Amino acid sequence: MAWAVKPDGQSSLQSVKPLSMNAKNYLKAYSQKANKFLDLFFLKKKALAKKIDPDLGKILQVFLDSSKGGKRARGALTVLGYESSGGKNFEAILPVSCGIEMFHNFLLIHDDIIDKDRLRRGKPTVHTVYAKKRGEHYGNSKAIIIGDVGAFLAYELLLSSNFSKERTLEAVTKLNEFLLKTGYGQLLDIDYDFKKQISWEEILKVRTYKTAYYTIVMPLTVGAILAGAPKSVLSAIESYGVPVGIAFQLVDDILGVFGSTRKTGKSNLSDIRDGKKTFLYAKALELLGAPEKKFLKRWYGAGDVGEKQIREIKKIIVSSGALDYSQKLAEKLVMKGKRYVPKITMDKKYQKVLESLADFIVTRES
Amino acid sequence: MAWAVKPDGQSSLQSVKPLSMNAKNYLKAYSQKANKFLDLFFLKKKALAKKIDPDLGKILQVFLDSSKGGKRARGALTVLGYESSGGKNFEAILPVSCGIEMFHNFLLIHDDIIDKDRLRRGKPTVHTVYAKKRGEHYGNSKAIIIGDVGAFLAYELLLSSNFSKERTLEAVTKLNEFLLKTGYGQLLDIDYDFKKQISWEEILKVRTYKTAYYTIVMPLTVGAILAGAPKSVLSAIESYGVPVGIAFQLVDDILGVFGSTRKTGKSNLSDIRDGKKTFLYAKALELLGAPEKKFLKRWYGAGDVGEKQIREIKKIIVSSGALDYSQKLAEKLVMKGKRYVPKITMDKKYQKVLESLADFIVTRES
C-alpha cells in the first residue's frame, strides 16, 4: 500500500487509487495514520501528566494501548463522512476522527467492566490489568476513572478542532446527542441481561441505540457536519447507517458465538457463558420447539455451563434456523442501507467505499 | 429571603440586597433557582427518554434526585464568576451553571462506587439504590453508565448555551481541561488509599488536582469566561481559588471525622473505617510519638476496627495537634486567597460575596 503514506507523510486518504479503494483498504490506510497521530498526541499528554505524577504517564499509556489493535472503524468513518461530503482538509479531520476513536475506547472500558470481559482485541482489558495488582474492586475503580479521563481527552480532541467554531460546536453537540443515545442503549442492555425471556424487538431496541447509531451514523455524521454537508445528507446517512449498523450487530452476535477467537481477539464462549441477550439467542428461543427451548434457557448464561453444553447450544442455534435467519437479515439490511448511498454523496469513488463498507460488515470475520 | 425570587420569577441573583449579600444567602437563592431549572430540564429529557423505554425515565429521575440536597456550590460559583465579571444575562448563565452541577453529580456517582460509600447527602448513593435490586456488580454497572449519561447531559447544557459560539467553545474547552485535572487527581487518590505511609505533600497534590481546581477555580473561571473576562481575572481566580479550595478540603477532612452526620448527611466514621488518606491522618502520623503512631497505623482503615478504636483515633488526632494544625492552616489559606479578591472584581458587592464565601468554607458545618 504505497499510497497510504506519501514520502512527505502529508498525504490524505484521498490519494487512495480508485481501483484499490474499498472499505478494507480505506480502514487499513486510516488506521496507520490514526495510530501515528495518537502516538504523538499521547506523547505530549504523557509528558504533561508525568509532571504531576509519573504514574499518570503510565496510566495514559495503558489507555492508549487498550485502543490499539482495533479496526479504528469509527475514526475511518469520520474521515469518510468528511471526504464524501467534499472535505479536503485531512490534517484537520484526523484529530477529530481520533477523538471519535478515543470516545469508543472510553465506552469499551466501561462496557468491559460491566460485562466482566477479560479479553479485548486479544489483550487483557483495562480493569483486568489493574485487578491483577490489587483485586477486582481496585481494577474496576481504576478502569472507571481511566475511562472518564479518556472521555475528557476525546472531548479535547474535538473541541480543539481546526474547523470553524460554528461547525466545531455543531459537530460536538451532535456527537454528544449520539453518546446520550448510546448511554441509554447501554442502560437498557444491563437490565436485559437479567431477563429470562427477551424478545427480538427488545434486542432490536437496545442494539439500535447502543450500536447502530453510534457505530455508523455517528462518525459519518460528525465528519459530514465538519465538511458543511446539508441536512438532506445527514438524513441519508441515518437511513444508510441504521440498517447497516443493525447488520453490523447481527454479525457481531454471530461472531460472538461462531467466530474464531484468533481472528476476533475475544472469546467465542463468553456470550453463551454470560447469557448475553443477542439476536441469535432471541431468534433461537422464538423458533425452537419445547425441549430445545428448555435446554437453551437452562444452560444459556448458567453458572454451571460446561463445554459440552456450549457445543450443544451452538448446534441448537444452527438447527433452529436462527443463525441462517440472522445472516440473511444482515444481508437484507445491508442491501436496504446501500440504496441511500447516492443520496449521501455524488462522488462515485466514495459511493464505492460506502457500498463496500456495508458489504464488508456482513463478510467480516473479526 | 423575599429577594430570592421576584413575583415574576425572572429575577437574577443580582437582586440580592447588598446587606443580605453573603455566601450563604447567595447559595440558598441560587439553589432554589437551579433546582427549579433542573426539574424542568429533566421533565423534558424524561419525556424523550420514556419514548425509548419507560425505565429510562425512572433512571433519569434517580440521577436528578441524587443531585438534590447538595449545596449547589459549584453552580452558584459559576453564576458568581459570571456576575462578578459584569455578566447580566442570568437566564443564559443558569443552564450553564446547572450543567456544572450535573458534572459534579456525575463525578460523585463514580466516586461513590470507588469509595463504596452508601450514603450521600443523607440518601442512599446511586450504586446502592441499584445494588439493592440485583447485587453489587449490577449496582455498580448501572451507576457507571448513569454517571456517564449524566456527563453527556451536562455537556449538552454547556454546548447549547445562549452565549456566543466563541465564548461557549472557550468555556467548554476550559471546563474540559479542569475535568481532566480532576480525573488525574482521582486516579492518584485511588492509589494513595492503598499506601500505608503517605506524606502531607502527596495528599496536597491529590487534593489540589482532585478538589481545589475543580471546586472553586473551575466554576468561577467558566462563569468569568462567559462574561468575557480578561486573562488577568482568570489568573486572579486561580490565585484565589487554589488556596481556598485546599482550605475547603482541609475542612472536608475535618468534617469527615468530627462532623455531625445529621448536618453533613454522611457518616463520620467512614474516613477512619476506609482508611481514607486525609490531611488529618498525614499530619497526625507526622506529629505523633511512636506508640500512638503504631496504634493509628494498626487501626486506621483496618477491617476489624471497632467503635472503641475509632473513638481512640479521634482522641489521638486531637491530642497530636493535627486537628488544630488543619484548622489554622485552613484559616491561613483563606486569608491568602482573599487577598486576590480585588483583582477578580472591582464591584464591592461581589468582593463581599467572594470574601464571605472564603470565610464560609472554614466555618461551615456541612
Segment (H or E) for A188 = helix A165-192
Distance from A295 to chain B by nearest Cα, in Å?
Answer: 25
Q: Which residues of B touch A179 (CB under 8 A)?
A: 152
From the list B138, B145, B188, which residue is nearest A55 (CB)? B188
pLDDT at B270: 81
Distance from A120 to chain B by nearest Cα, in Å?
Answer: 18
Q: Give the whole-number percent of chain A exceeding pLDDT 90.
A: 77
Decide if pLDDT at B16 tops 60.
no
Decide if pLDDT at B152 tops 60.
yes
pLDDT at B14: 60
pLDDT at A333: 96
pLDDT at A19: 44
8 Å CB contact of B141 and A49: no
Q: Which residues of A touch B140 (CB under 8 A)?
A: 113, 140
- Tell the CATH superfamily of the B18-363 domain: Farnesyl Diphosphate Synthase (1.10.600.10)
8 Å CB contact of A187 and B151: no
Q: Which residues of A touch B152 (CB under 8 A)?
A: 176, 179-180, 183
Q: Which residues of B touch A127 (CB under 8 A)?
A: none
Q: Give the whole-number percent of chain B exceeding pLDDT 70.
A: 94
Decide if pLDDT at A69 tops 80.
yes
CA distances from A32 to A27, A37, A154, A224 (A): 9, 9, 19, 22
Over residues B5-29, the mean pLDDT reads 58
Distance from B208 to chain A by nearest Cα, in Å?
Answer: 11
How many beta carbons lie within 10 A of that of residue B11, not counting itself? 16
8 Å CB contact of B53 and A205: yes
Residue closest to A237 by CA, chosen among A109, A345, A323: A345
pLDDT at A1: 26
8 Å CB contact of B183 and A149: yes
Q: Which residues of B touch A110 (CB under 8 A)?
A: 144-145, 148
pLDDT at A14: 60
Decide if pLDDT at B153 tops 70.
yes
Chain B residue at shortest CA distance from A168: B169
pLDDT at B127: 97
Q: Which residues of A touch B138 (CB under 8 A)?
A: 190, 194
Chain A residue at shortest CA distance from B106: A148
8 Å CB contact of A194 and B56: no
Count Cα atoms within 13 angstroms, Cβ side, for B224. 25
pLDDT at A10: 41
Rounded CA-CA distance B346/B348 in Å is: 6
8 Å CB contact of A114 and B173: no
Over residues B1-9, the mean pLDDT reads 33
From the list A114, A165, A168, which residue is nearest B141 (CB)? A114
From the list A49, A176, A184, which residue is nearest B156 (CB)? A176
Over residues A63-78, the mean pLDDT reads 93
Rounded CA-CA distance A31/A222 in Å is: 18
Concatenated DSSP letters of B155-212 = HHHHHT-SS-HHHHHHHHHHHHHHHHHHHHHHHHHHHHTT-SS--HHHHHHHHIIIII
Residue closest to B70 by CA, chosen among B215, B242, B283, B239: B215
Chain A residue at shortest CA distance from B173: A159
DSSP reduced 3-state for B71: coil
Q: Which residues of B touch A184 (CB under 8 A)?
A: 49, 52-53, 56, 149
Distance from A152 to chain B by nearest Cα, in Å?
Answer: 6
pLDDT at B15: 52
From the list B52, B134, B180, which residue is nearest A184 (CB)? B52
Residue closest to A30 by CA, chosen among A44, A15, A42: A15
pLDDT at B20: 54
Q: Which residues of B touch A59 (CB under 8 A)?
A: 187
Distance from A47 to chain B by nearest Cα, in Å?
Answer: 13
User: What mean pLDDT, rounded, does chain B reach?
Assistant: 91
From the list B49, B176, B205, which residue is nearest A184 (CB)? B49
Residue closest to B185 by CA, chosen among B215, B207, B204, B213: B207
8 Å CB contact of B165 and A166: yes
Instruction: Report the range of poorest mean pLDDT among A11-20, B69-78, B187-196.
Output: A11-20
Instruction: Report the range of poorest mean pLDDT among A127-131, A300-304, B150-154.
Output: A300-304
End-to-end C-alpha distance for chain A, whole angstroms: 21
Concatenated DSSP letters of B250-291 = HHHHHHHHHS-HHHHSS-SSHHHHHT---HHHHHHHHH--HH
Q: Which residues of B touch A183 (CB under 8 A)?
A: 145, 148-149, 152
Q: Which residues of B touch A171 (CB under 8 A)?
A: none
Residue closest to A321 by CA, chosen among A362, A282, A291, A358: A282
Over residues A187-193, the mean pLDDT reads 90
Q: Which residues of A touch B142 (CB under 8 A)?
A: 187, 190
Decide if pLDDT at B9 tops 50.
no
Instruction: Report the range of poorest mean pLDDT among A96-100, A258-262, B354-358.
Output: A258-262
Interface test with A, best of B58, B109, B144, B181 (most A CBs within 10 A): B144
Chain A residue at shortest CA distance from B151: A180
Over residues B324-332, the mean pLDDT reads 96
Q: Which residues of B touch A108 (CB under 8 A)?
A: none
pLDDT digits (tens, 9 = 90+) for B39-60: 999 999 999 999 999 999 999 9
Decide if pLDDT at B3 tops 60.
no
Instruction: Report the range of poorest mean pLDDT among A230-234, B10-14, B169-173.
Output: B10-14
Q: Which residues of A touch B114 (CB under 8 A)?
A: 141, 144-145
Decide if pLDDT at A108 tops 70.
yes
Chain B residue at shortest CA distance from A167: B165
From the list B56, B169, B183, which residue is nearest A187 (CB)? B56
pLDDT digits (tens, 9 = 90+) for A275-290: 888 999 999 999 999 8
Residue type, position B141, single letter: S
Distance from B2 to chain A by nearest Cα, in Å?
Answer: 38
CB A153 within 8 A of CB A46: no
Chain B residue at shortest CA distance from A208: B52
pLDDT digits (tens, 9 = 90+) for B232-290: 999 999 999 999 999 999 999 999 999 877 777 777 788 898 888 899 999 999 999 98
8 Å CB contact of B156 and A180: yes
Residue type, position B227, single letter: A
pTM reported for the whole predicted model = 0.91
How does DSSP classify residue A62? Answer: H
8 Å CB contact of B110 and A173: no
A85 Cβ contact partners less than 8 Å away, ≥ 6 residues apart: A223, A224, A227, A228, A229, A233, A344, A345
pLDDT at A121: 81
Decide if pLDDT at A181 tops 90.
yes
pLDDT at A12: 57
Over residues A198-226, the mean pLDDT reads 94
Q: Which residues of B touch A301 (CB under 8 A)?
A: none
Distance from A299 to chain B by nearest Cα, in Å?
Answer: 20
Interhelix angle A73-84/A23-52, rounded to 10 degrees, is: 110
Q: B154-168 burial string, b = 16+ CB within 10 Å, else e?
A: bbbbbbebebeeeeb
Rounded CA-CA distance B141/A189 in Å is: 11
Interface test with A, best of B41, B46, B51, B53 (most A CBs within 10 A): B53
pLDDT at A277: 87
CATH class of A22-363: mainly alpha
Concatenated DSSP letters of A211-247 = IIIIIIIHHHHHHHHHTT--HHHHHHHHHHHHHHHHH
Concatenated DSSP letters of B302-333 = -TT--HHHHHHHHHHHHHHTHHHHHHHHHHHH
Distance from B106 to chain A by nearest Cα, in Å?
Answer: 10
Confidence at B11, pLDDT banded by 50, 70, 90: very low
Rounded CA-CA distance B157/B173 in Å is: 14
Domain ranges across chain B: 18-363
pLDDT at A259: 85
Name the residue with higher pLDDT: A242 or B277. Answer: A242
Q: Which residues of A touch B135 (CB under 8 A)?
A: none
8 Å CB contact of B151 and A151: yes
Over residues A67-92, the mean pLDDT reads 94
